[in-house]
Amino acid sequence: MEYIDLDRTEGYKKLQGLKKATVKDLLTTSRVQAADIGLGGGLRYNWAAMPVSDEAVKALQGLSDEMDLVGKYKEILKGEMMNTGEKRLVLHHLTRGNVLGAAVSADGEDKGKFYSSVLDSIKDFSEKVRSGEIKGSTGKAIKTVCQIGIGGSDLGPRALYLALKGWAEGAGVKMLNAEFISNVDPDDAAAVIKRLDFETTLFILVSKSGTTQETLTNRDLVLETLKSSPIPGLVPSKHMVAVTSKTSPLAADSSMLASFFIDDYIGGRYSSTSAVGGTVLSLAFGFDTFRALLDGAHEEDVKATEKDITKNGALMDALIGFYLRNIMGYPSTAILPYSQALSRFPAHLQQLDMESNGKHVNRFGEKVSYPTGPVIFGEPGTNGQHSFYQLLHQGTDIIPLQFIGFRKCQYGMDIETAGSTSQKKLNANLSAQIAAFARGKEDGNTNKEFDGNRPSSLIYGDKLTPAALGALLAHYENKVMFQGFIWNLNSFDQEGVQLGKVLAKKVLAGCEGDELLKAYADLLI
């Protein structure tokens, strides 16, 4: 399959030559109804308030076909070597189901069967812990699980756990509390440890390589605290499991109560549907909940194989995002969930998007001549309205927005005041913001004028359930993947993360003659 830079395509040239439309030019009630695509998990994607004309949509379809974006996605699904930087397959889709049905093999094993066997192990272990068959070392039932990991081992799983807490309580699902330790800052670990009852806590140590400095440092801090505890009969090894690769040092660590495996074909930021997210979520909510999340993600993965961009929400979202970045020249995007449950979801998407497509060279190591991944930020509504929305509405930069909303709350705890429930007030604010950003407002007082023409899209559904959450996760993973194909990037390595790690080790080794490094280290160490 041919991989070419965007500036060599006919589609890009055609898009650059089109007359640019504005949101005000395009937005009508009929467009709101028509510019709507079904996603997995009962979700829908609405792009009516985007400055993309029918002519532009046709051109975007042409670009998608010219670059064979869906064909490249299918190469991933077939098990082709798509991570060119690290010479690896990209198999996170396979952790939630086989989209094309053909077996994918690597390292002498069927990877689909391998991931299924890991799920079986997680199911068996989590059910034994939740039923009380597996207890802590002093004989007490486990009530809390605490994940120790950083980056993709923390951001995604933490965001998903918080997203499902309200649903689980509202649905009457038995829950174990979950805590997370990620930052090597000792205050992060200390604050969590002070909340824990060691006798009823199970720690989940997550490191694919088994050598992640921050994670192992936090592990040692936890173990030393456990060993120094005055609790009679407390055995630290009975309170820790590992999520790691079969070849890592942790895999051979007999002090672990159990181990659940991942491999090099699952990137950290794409690992939430592997054992990295599956272990903590299955323990916290039960394996059936995690299975429902996987099913929602798989449903969205299947929908992403559709070539017609008006029927493929992830592909349309990716192409519109590319249009905003490369044709309209907007360098950032705000993700605005009107759901407190998704409070940490924008943080996960920051890593997913910016670590994947924050690249200045193509798949072949050559510098590109066009802008690539945008800056991603966000905060739940309505808090954000009383914070940075001022700049979004009246600032000198136009920042495209992506809203997420649900008709129903999770806990089911709502009251009616002043003629409406809290959930209706929340969604009234969301609806109003979309219209306000699009239409603006004229006023004789310039201080109160709103230019409008601020583009936005909306992902919405009935309720944030495990299946909806899985589909939402997969939607963004696939959107980022498609955009990587458009920009001809390798979206699956992260060399930009490595330099700082190397220099940090150099500082700890005494700076090794690097005077500039030592000058800054002397300020802090």
Residues with a catalytic annotation lie at: 355, 386, 501
- Residue 118 in tokens: 């890991």
Provide the CB-side half-sphere exposure for 251 (13 A, CA).
11
Task: Single out the residue of 513, 492, 509 nearest to residue 501, CA to CA.
Answer: 509
Torsion of CA 380, 381, 386, 390, to 10 degrees: 90
DSSP 414-439: --EETTEEHHHHHHHHHHHHHHHHHH
Radius of gyration of the chain (CA): 24
How far apart are alpha carbons 292 and 122 in whole angstroms?
15
Strand pairing category for 109-110 and 105-106: antiparallel
3-class SS of residue 376? strand
Chain CA centroid to CA 239, Å = 28
Sheet holding 44-46, edge to edge: 36-38, 44-46, 456-461, 401-406, 332-337, 375-378
60, 189, 215, 221 from 149: Cα distances, Å: 40, 11, 5, 13
Pair 239, 257: CB distance under 8 Å: yes
- Measured CA to CA, the distance from residue 520 to residue 504 in angstroms comes to 11
Number of Cβ within a 10 Å radius of residue 90:
23
Q: How many other C-beta atoms lie within 10 A of the C-beta of residue 30?
A: 8
401 CB-near residues (< 8 Å, 6+ apart): 333, 334, 336, 392, 437, 454, 455, 456, 457
